Structures are given as C-alpha cells and as structure tokens.
Structure 1
Amino acid sequence: MKTTFKILGVLLLLVSMGSCEKDDMESLDPNLSNSADIKGVPNFNNGMINSYSNEVVLQWNEFLSQTIDDQMPLPAESKIYAMVTLAMHDALNNVVPKYETYALDNSGVDASDITKKNIHAIADAAVSQAARDMIAQLVSGATAAADARLNEVLASIEDSDLKTRGISIGKAATAAILAKRADDFPLRFVTYTGGTAPGVYRANYQPFINLAYAPNMGELTPFGIRSSDQFRDEAPYPLNSSEYVADYKEVKSLGCDACPLRTEEQTEIGAFWIESNASSMNRLARTLIEERKLDGWEAARLIGLVEMAVIDAYIASFEGKAFYKFWRPVTAIRAGDSDGVDATVGDENWTSSFFTPPTAEFPSTHAYAGGAAAAVFKSFFRSDHVNLDVISPYSLPGVERHLSSFSQMAYETAISRIYIGYHFRHSVVVGERQGRELGEYVFDNNLRELKKVL
C-alpha cells in the first residue's frame, strides 16, 4: 500500500487560465501607517511586529516539507499542510494579535509587555511548539525529528517567563485546531467499482482496479469557505455534444504515453506541474517571503491562507467529483467505440502519461487548487505580476520554468492535466475558475487584519 500511496502522491494536481492585472506591489498593509492601539499593545505600528523575522516560521515550514512531501496521497498531504501552518499562524497571533485566527481565540490577549527586545523569545517558542505538536499529532514517525528541531530552537532562547508563555501558547494553538477538526474522518483508499453506463466514473484501470481514494472527501467541513458546494455551478459536457467530442479528441492526441503530437514544451509542462499543489505552492510562498522580506507575522499569514485555499480546493473539487461521477479519459477513450457517440473513435490500448489518480474526473482538483492559490497570491500582493524561476524537485528535477504572473502558474498547472491525460479541457477550465473564486473568498474572509481600536 505504501507503493500505491507514493504513486498517488506523485499524481494529482491543478490548473488554470487567469487574467493578468495591472497593480503596484508596494506596502502589503497600507492601513498600518495609522497609529492606534490594539488589545493593550501601545502604538500598534511601532515596528515591534515588523522587527520579528520570518526565520523560524520558514525553518519549520521547510521542515514540514522535508517530512511529508512525496510521501502520501495528495489530499492527505494538503490537510497536514493546512493544519500545521494554521497552528503557527494562530500561535503568533496569540503572542501579539495582528490578524484573525483560525481556531485559537485571541480577543483577550494582553501583549503590553511584548517589546522589540523580547518578541523573538516568546514568538519563536510559540511557533516552534505549535509546529512540533501538530506534526507529532499528524505525521506518523516524525515525532523524534520534530522533538530534536524543537529542542534546538528552545535551547537558543534564554529561559524566562516569556519563553514559558510562548510554549504554552504553541500548545494551545495546536489543541484548538485539533478540537475544531475533531469530527474529521480519515482519508483513505476504499473499495469502489463505479457504474457501467457511458460517462460514469469506474475504477477499472491499473493500478487502481476497484479502488478509489477518499471519494467522500467532499463531506469534510471546509477550513475557510462556507460549504463544499459553494462554488459548484457547472456540469460536465454531455457525451453527444460537440464540446465533449472536441475535448475527447484533444486529450486522446495530447495526453497519451509518448503521444507523437504533443510538443516538448507540452510534455515538460505536464511533468513539471504533476507535483502536489500543497508542496509546490508552499515552496513558492517561501520564495516570495524571502524575496520580499516579509516579517514573521506576514509570512505565517501568507502560508496559512495559501494552504487553507488549497485544502478547501481539494474538499470542494472532491464534492463535485462525487456529485457528477464523471469518467476519466483513460476509461472514456478505451470505451470510445461503445459510448453511443460515433465521433469518439476508441482505442482499447490507450494509456495516459502517468497512472491516472483513482478519483472521478470533474472538476480537476489540480486546476482548482492552482487557481485558488494564485488568487490568494494575487490578493495578498495586490498584483498578478511576478518574476521568478521555479523548480519541481520531485517531478522534474533539474528543470526550471519562468513565471511572469500568478495567472501563468495557475494556467500551466491546469493545462498540464490535459498533457498527462488526466482530464478533459472543460474540467480544468471550470476547476481553475471555481478555484479562483474560492481563493478570493478565502482571502477576503479569513485571517484578516484586526481593526485598530482608536
């Protein structure tokens, strides 16, 4: 089963066709120039929070990546990313309340004794304890390494009441999130056969014969949106429609193993973006945090919002998959001569470039999550523009792709699923659009800056 997990872990991701915006990229929080008091913190914009570096936040974020990337099915990975990064965010915002929290209430926090001189002691302890505790709870076999990393951080902090308070805050942040997610069910492979009618998803392709992964994931309580069906608004094309026939022919000619019509660029895009969304978007966030010198509070908020959007994109897309139960291209093309549509010429030996994930087809989860993450990045930085070379170490090591916009990232993530034979075009277009709407909603309604108290 571990082999199967790692196969799936290298498999299921996202997509998009976004629009470019013309925005400037100056101050992230323009209202911070207003001097005011928050929860006992004199002169909120006195530079105290800005003086806290992103170092420990990024260290734990990278530790998480090294611990779970490419080790499990992508939905499970995305949920762990969300819970660990939100624990760090909540811990910081119970040291000094700057942003709304996910689970641990910070309305009564008194931070009047926090200064530029001591903020690192309490904040580093809080972040580290929260990350360690959540990783130990969620990742089997990771406790010893997480303990060693925690001890290293705590040993660098002089013993004090603030250090002790930081440890208590970190423990409370993890406990609050675990309590909030106490009703979550495990994500796992289940026996699944599916239907037999044309167009209906069926688990009849190698190596996942009669198996599906977490077909009930859409029933999980979302992290930042109202409901898993909040953005569901469009169905797959009917099999007898000209649109479906066009999508069928496209993926048949571009998504097969060693397709002669697929260009080198298309082949590269397909393999490059096959990696987990939670992992690739986490790495992109870390790069931007370092490049734009975000402080620790901004860093934790950005990563928390991105991973919240990704996990909700998984939940929402899986709700759509369960609702429509549309078949994958590998099944559709092999059954093309018996689907009742004369224009879809079948090929019983057709195979996709990689093992098709054991989930229904519509909408594309990869496209959904790519669109959601791009929307968060665009909203956070108030611009679509970016100038970065990015890598995909687990999928296509040694290859770089240049990004000039977050929309380009979302588009490539989405379109890649056609080039590896996982999805029809309609699935990735709808998935990216719904993901963009989800990402905008997550940003607008979660982890917002607290209002100043005048």
Structure 2
Amino acid sequence: MNALTQFKKVPILPLLIAPALVALASPPIACADAVTDWNLIASTAIVTTAGQPPPVSALSFAMVQGAVYDAVNAIDRGHQPYLVQPPSNPTDSKEAATATAAFRVLVGFDDLPGLFPVQQPTLQPQYDTYIAGLPDNPPGSRAAGVTIGEATARAMLTARLNDGRFGPSPTPYPQAPGIWRPTPPNFLNDPAPWVGNVRPFLVPSAEMLRTDGPNALTSAAYTEDFNEVKELGSLYSTTRTADQTDAAIFWQDHAHALFNRIFRTLATSQGLDIVNSARLFAMENLAAADAAIGCWNDKYYWQFWRPITAIREADTDGNPDTQADPTWLPLFDPATPVCNPLFPLFTPPFPDHPSGHACATGAFVNTLQNFFGTDKISFSAFSNKSCTTRSFERFSDALKEVIDARVWAGIHFRTADTQGAVLGKKVAQYLKKNYFRPARCFLEGPLRRVSFHRARGRCPPAQVQFRGNHRG
C-alpha cells in the first residue's frame, strides 16, 4: 500500500496554516476614502508592525474589514449586515464610523482586548487626528459615527472570542514517503499550524472545504507533477524563462498585503464610494480568512511532502518514473537574489497540499468577479518581494499566474495549486449565496435575520457599476 493511500484513511486532524514570515513596508497614505485609508493603516499594523504571516493576517484583516462594513452599512442600510446593524440616522458620519470600527478592532477597549493593544500608542494619535479632521455636519453626526463604529467593533471582537486562534498544534504524522517534514536550509516548523482549527467566518465548517487530496505517489498524475516542478522549479533550471522567474518571486510577497493594495487601487480606479468600498473589502477579506482556515485544515489533514523532499527522496516513493536528485534545490533558495536581502527565499515551513497562496488567490479573484460582475478589468500591482510591477488584463489572469508561479518557484506540485484555487472558489461562492444580500432580500427580527434568498431562492447578488479600464 502506498503512503498516499494510507493518509487518505487517517482521521481528520484539526488545525493549520501559516505562510512565510515577511513584514514589508507599505506606501504612504494617499487613498480614496476612509475605507481605503484605514485599510492601509490596518495593513501596516497587521503586516509591517505585528509581522503576522499570511494565514494569521487573513484573520485580522477579516475582523477589521467586517467591522468596518457593518459600521458603514448601519448608516447606509443597503445590504444585509455581517454581524450587527446598530441604530443610526442617514446623516451620521460614515467616515467616523469607518475609522472607529477599524481602530477599535485593532486596539480594543478597556474591557475587551483588540488585536494589537500594544500598538495603541502609535494608532491613537493617527485616529485622533483623523477624527478631528472630519466635518461635523450636521452637528453630532461625527460623534454618532464614532458610536456606531464602536458598536460594530465590539460586536466583532466579542464574536471572535475563543474562536481557536493561537490554539494547539496538530499532531504530525509518522515519517514515511509522502509525509511532510521540515525542509532545508533552515528546517523550520510552521509558525501558526493552529489556523485550520479556527472557527470560520462564513462557512459552517472547515471540513466542508476538504480537497480531493494529493495524487498517489505511484500515479501518472504524480509523476507528471513531479517532473514538471523538478525541471521548471529548479534553482538551475534552463527552461524557466526570466519572466517566469520574476513572476515566481513577485507572488512571494505577503499575499494579503499585496491583494489589499490591489483592492485599494481598484476602489480608486473603479470609482467606488465609501459604501461599496466597505463591502468590497469585507467580502474579500472574509472570504480570504475562510480560505486560509480551510486551507490549513486541509494541509494538516494530508500532510504531504514538499517538492524538495520528494525529489531528494524519490528513491523511496515506489515510483520507477521519478528519479531522485539528492542535491536538488528549488528557485526559492537563499542563493536566489531578491531586492530585499533581509528576506531571502526558501520553501515555506508547512505541508505542500493545498497551496496557501492559491487558496487565498482563488478566494480573492472569484470574489472580485462576483463583486464587479465581470472578469474583464485590468490592473497592475507592485511586489515588495521582486520590486517589480506586473499587469493583468483580467482578474483570472492573476490566479492563473499564481498557480504557475508556485511551480516555477519549486515549492509546490501543480495539483496543490489547482486544488487550492478550487478551495478558495468554494468559499467565494458560499459567500455569494449567503452573505451581503441587498437590503430588500432580508428581514430583521428581534432575535435573528431571515434571508429571503434562503427561503425563496430569489434576489441575485448585488453588483456595482464600474468605470475606467473595463475591457469588453
């Protein structure tokens, strides 16, 4: 019996997820509205200052942007709330509500801790200056916005108490061919394997996102994946192009910081107002959080080995068509030049399957398509890892490139990427069907909300009108 057949039978293990530890600088604040302003402030707090790795940061971004959405939506009342809908007047300040919701989730309250209480000395002056600069027209509207933002932040922080963050680590499987183990050169362990046991933000359970799993070690599909990454992902590959190398390094930037930069760009280029910006950022980051949770849960269910281990130990896999190379190195090796030498490249310290970046990008891209109602919007993005800018004609082009890039990097088998993208899409589709419905699609009762969509199957998902670089 081959190893892969064996781990398809092991009991489900709870927990998982944590990509590479990179905290890179963010550009100066110069954004379109309060939502994008405070998304940038939050990104700096989460990624640059706290140094949270991608799967952990996904949870933090979701908490901030979910509370911001509820605060803005409480005043606009155009869509179904995520958690709560505090009382409001139409003239209450959406900007004050936005800033307060984000600030309070980040630093918390005297009786309810936020994500980063230690950052209050830095964030408090930013918040105070921001609020003081907002108009108070009509009088009292600014204070009312603050009250609303505090209410939605408190609701979010309360809802996420005891949600499994920073919990115990999963149990590693006994070593065998196909089973993950720490990889060269540093042989690090996952800094946040508990992510897969966190209570999801949207879906009922992480297990409902279970992938089909890695290919059996003796299968033709595994052989194909093996030989592809061995050739294209090698540090010394003669077939990988310079552009493919750039793409691989580009996408090793912190995924959630990078995509939130993309969302800020899109919010501006597509002319989104504060209401639609709040909804976009909430949808994207809540979907990405559940993709991270599901992805890390799946990683530790399968615990599949990385290409560097598989290639060096191929003489143990029972497959005559995979040839071992004990000295093989991936492109992602400290020997590969990067624009910031403080953050060298290496194989991420957690199991291969599914790809964390593909899970996140699958959620991000499919949610963008659902939000805008089209795939045909072009955009460009800058990576702090490669210090290059790449441009895309469609949202889906970015997802396709991420799937390829992880193979070109030598850190994933293609199956891990394609199945990760499917996992992310599942989250995006669940969100589309069950959350952020137009206000006419749900009723509020004293104890619970009743969705017309669930009851009658009506009310299509809301989309926005956009402008600018739409390509027909």
Q: Name the TM-score class by shorter chain.
A: 0.7 to 0.9
Deviation, structure 1 residue 7? 5.1
Deviation, structure 1 residue 208? 3.2
Deviation, structure 1 residue 273? 0.9
> What SS is found at the alignment partner of 2:378?
strand
Deviation, structure 1 residue 104? 2.1
Task: Identify the range of structure 1 (444-453 vs 160-169) with the bigger mean alpha-carbon deviation.
Answer: 444-453
Per the alignment, residue 143 of structure 1 pairs with 120
Distance 2:307 2:434 in 1: 36
Q: Is the 8 A contact 2:105 2:115 kept in 1?
A: yes
Q: Is the 8 A contact 2:233 2:410 kept in 1?
A: yes
Amino acid at match of 1:152: T
Cα deviation, 1:33-85, whole Å, max 9, x if unaligned, reads: xxxxxxxxxxxxxxxxxxxx951111111112233335221111111111111
Amino acid at match of 2:39: N
> What SS is found at the alignment partner of 1:240?
coil
Per the alignment, residue 372 of structure 1 pairs with 363
Deviation, structure 1 residue 10? 6.9
Does 1:381 pair with 2:369? Answer: no
Distance 1:343 1:277 in 2: 35
Distance 2:156 2:118 in 1: 21
Say which of 427, 440, 448 aligns to 2:429: 440
Does 1:171 pair with 2:150? Answer: yes
Cα deviation, 1:217-276, whole Å, max 9, x if unaligned, reads: 222111112221223241211000011011111111122224232111210110111122
Per the alignment, residue 271 of structure 2 pairs with 293
Distance 2:173 2:233 in 1: 23
Cα deviation, 1:148-207, whole Å, max 9, x if unaligned, reads: 111112212456433222212111111101111101233489697643211111225332
Cα deviation, 1:124-149, whole Å, max 9, x if unaligned, reads: 22111111111122136422222111
Per the alignment, residue 100 of structure 1 pairs with 80
Amino acid at match of 1:415: D
Per the alignment, residue 351 of structure 2 pairs with 360
Residues 370, 377 of structure 1: alpha-carbon distance in 2 compared, 3 angstrom cutoff: same
Amino acid at match of 2:372: F
Distance 2:216 2:316 in 1: 15
Say which of 193, 203, 209 aligns to 1:215: 193
Q: Where in structure 2 are the equivalents of 1:127-142 lying within 5 Å? A: 127-136=98-107, 137-139=114-116, 141-142=118-119
> Structure 1: any 5+ residue segments left out of the alignment?
12-52
> Structure 2: any 5+ residue segments left out of the alignment?
1-17, 25-30, 108-113, 333-344, 444-472
Distance 2:170 2:299 in 1: 16
Distance 2:235 2:168 in 1: 26
Per the alignment, residue 38 of structure 1 pairs with none
Distance 2:306 2:135 in 1: 57
Distance 2:415 2:19 in 1: 28
> What SS is found at the alignment partner of 1:186?
coil
Please report the TM-score for the alignment, with normalisation by the length of structure 1. Answer: 0.82
Say which of 314, 336, 344 aligns to 1:336: 314
Cα deviation, 1:291-320, whole Å, max 9, x if unaligned, reads: 111110100100110111111111111111
Distance 1:429 1:216 in 2: 23
RMSD: 2.4
Q: Where in structure 2 are the equivalents of 1:263-278 lying within 5 Å? A: 263-278=241-256
Distance 1:452 1:426 in 2: 39
Distance 1:453 1:200 in 2: 47
Amino acid at match of 1:186: R
Higher relative contact order (CA 8 A, sep 6+): 1
Q: Is the 8 A contact 1:130 1:170 kept in 2?
A: yes
Per the alignment, residue 9 of structure 1 pairs with 22
Per the alignment, residue 248 of structure 1 pairs with 226
Does 1:67 pair with 2:45? Answer: yes
Does 1:345 pair with 2:323? Answer: yes
User: Matched residue pairs, number?
Assistant: 397
Amino acid at match of 2:102: A
Q: Is the 8 A contact 2:164 2:199 kept in 1?
A: no
Distance 1:78 1:187 in 2: 14
> What SS is found at the alignment partner of 1:401?
strand
Residues 140, 359 of structure 1: alpha-carbon distance in 2 compared, 3 angstrom cutoff: farther
> What SS is found at the alignment partner of 1:390?
strand
Residues 269, 103 of structure 1: alpha-carbon distance in 2 compared, 3 angstrom cutoff: same
Cα deviation, 1:394-420, whole Å, max 9, x if unaligned, reads: 2111x2211111110111122211111
Q: Is the 8 A contact 1:84 1:135 kept in 2?
A: yes
Distance 2:433 2:218 in 1: 40
Does 1:426 pair with 2:439? Answer: no
Residues 241, 158 of structure 1: alpha-carbon distance in 2 compared, 3 angstrom cutoff: closer
Per the alignment, residue 82 of structure 1 pairs with 62
Amino acid at match of 1:201: W
Does 1:224 pair with 2:202? Answer: yes
Distance 2:270 2:170 in 1: 47
Amino acid at match of 1:145: T
> What SS is found at the alignment partner of 2:193?
coil
Identity over aligned pairs, percent = 30
Amino acid at match of 1:395: K
Does 1:123 pair with 2:94? Answer: yes
Amino acid at match of 2:412: H
Per the alignment, residue 405 of structure 1 pairs with 394
Per the alignment, residue 35 of structure 1 pairs with none
Per the alignment, residue 291 of structure 2 pairs with 313
Deviation, structure 1 residue 110? 4.7
Amino acid at match of 1:451: R
Q: Where in structure 2 are the equivalents of 1:163-202 lying within 5 Å? A: 163-187=142-166, 194-202=173-181
Amino acid at match of 2:246: E
